[in-house]
Structure 1
Amino acid sequence: MLRSDARDNRDRVLEAARELFADRGLDVPMREIARRAQVGPATLYRRFATKQALIDAAFDAEMRACAALVRDGCADPDPWRGLCAIIQGATELNARSRGFVDALSSVPDGVSVPDHRRVLLRSVEGLCRRAIDAGALRPDFVLDDLVLMLLAARGLPVASLDARLAAAHRFAGLALEAFRATSEAGPLPPPARLIPAMLPSLDHTSATTSQSAERGR
């Protein structure tokens, strides 16, 4: 168990990291986080040996919330409704913290993708296949499109949290209308393979969803 002073230092570091990551993304230097927390660099590295360890700890609540979103969405008997709930919730998490998507996809060189992230992607992939098979999700949708939407949402207004959340809700609604299967939908350009670039060990995730899309045509 940490001593009270060590626990206070850790709490200050995490609070500073959450604030800076939320405002500016994950490129904030560790020394700047230490200054914001009013601790020395040695104290910071004693608590968090690597930046990835700090990122994981700082975004623990968001990761748990994301996992709950995916679990609840996949449990919905209506796959389209479940997917809508996941997209709306993930877009809001993204609006609350600019570092959320980066944290979700962050994998240091030489480190395997954490199991919990792999499970999340596999679960969403399965839900998307169900929604395609139900005729609700457009058949040429690939999982990379969801990542693309979340990356695009990082450009939402940053003037205030309320403004970002309002924009996020509108953006999610527009994206869902683009994802919805309709008889009038025209073909999309080739998909951008984003998941292999971010999570190399999941390079067949999008292909699986794409194959389902081909069957749905």
Structure 2
Amino acid sequence: MVDAAEHGSIANAPTARPRRRDARDNRDKVVTTARARFAADGLDASLNAIARDAGVSIGTLYNHFPTREDLIGEALLDQVWESVRSAEAALRAEDPWAGLVEHLTALAQWQARDRGFTDICVRSLPPDSPIEVAKQQGHKLFHQLIARVRESGALRTDVDVSDVGLLLWSVVRATEGVREQAPDVWRRHLGILLDGLRGEAAHPLPGPPLDDEILRTAMRFG
């Protein structure tokens, strides 16, 4: 004879699995929708709008992601790791300058098409969160990349990581207002920036580079 409790668990099993599957589907829809919303509107995009576009209630969104930072971390983690892999590839490049150009071009392209990626570069999440760990790895590699290109003589010696970061950000943000009419105009301004970073014929710069905290403040403005 089948035990009643066992019989009950068997009877309930088919209904439990669909509920778990529905929860996973809802979570995936929220993440996919959030990724698109963050790309268009930045990381302060409306969570109510994300839930509506995903076809779930705001309560369902919060059940899966209790805080905005939880959702940001899930939605942008793959993109941040992609930028880390880009830095790794740049460090492996035979020509240090070519590696730097390729990496900066990739970063500028991601920032031009994804406001959320631009924001996550300067927004701090909990230090032990997966996305912050990835960001710190990318930052470490970027320092190594700048040092490698400087040592090769291709990069002017008085340029710091913060200089390059702020200049790249400014290239993308300065062209944001004409993105619909000229979506690739950032490429022209990136070319001008890269020429200004070359070591040959460089003139001394006035003043020191920004420290990391001032840099983050500057890039959060506007």
User: Normalising by structure 1, what TM-score?
Assistant: 0.79
Q: 1:158 to 1:10 in 2, by over 3 A?
A: farther
Question: What is the root-mean-square deviation in Å for CA atoms of aligned residues?
Answer: 2.6
Aligned counterparts of 2:42 and 2:21: Cα–Cα separation in 1: 30
3-state SS of 2:28 partner: helix
Structure 2: how far apart are the matches of 1:75 and 1:161? Answer: 35
* Residue of structure 1 equivalent to 2:26: 9
Candidates 167, 170, 176, aligned match of 1:149: 167
Instruction: Give 1:36-185 correspondences, 5 Å limit.
Output: 36-108=53-125, 111-112=126-127, 114-152=132-170, 153-157=172-176, 163-164=182-183, 166-185=184-203
In the superposition, the TM-score normalised over structure 2's length comes to 0.77
Deviation at 1:52, TM superposition (A): 1.2
Report how far residue 187 of structure 1 moved. 1.8
Runs of at least 4 residues off by over 4 Å: 158-162, 197-200
Deviation string for 1:111-159 (max 9, x for gaps)? 3273322221111111211211211101111111222134321343366
SS, match of residue 157 in structure 2: coil
Structure 1 equivalent of residue 42 of structure 2: 25
Q: What's 1:213 paired with? A: none
- How many aligned positions are there? 196
Residues in 2 aligned to 1:76 and 1:161: alpha-carbon distance in whole angstroms: 34
Output the CA distance in 2 between the equivalents of 1:27 and 1:21: 7
How far the C-alpha of 1:17 sits from its partner, in A, is: 1.2
Q: What is the CA distance between 1:94 and its match in structure 2?
A: 0.8
Partner SS state of residue 176, structure 2: coil
Structure 2: unaligned runs, 5 residues or longer: 1-16, 218-222
Whether the 8 Å CA contact 2:84–2:137 is kept in 1: the answer is no
SS at match of 2:200: coil
Q: 4-13 vs 45-54, which deviates more?
A: 4-13
Q: Which structure is richer in relative contact order (CA contacts within 8 A, separation 6 or more)?
A: 1
CA contact (8 A) 1:144 1:191 kept: yes
Identity over aligned pairs, percent: 30
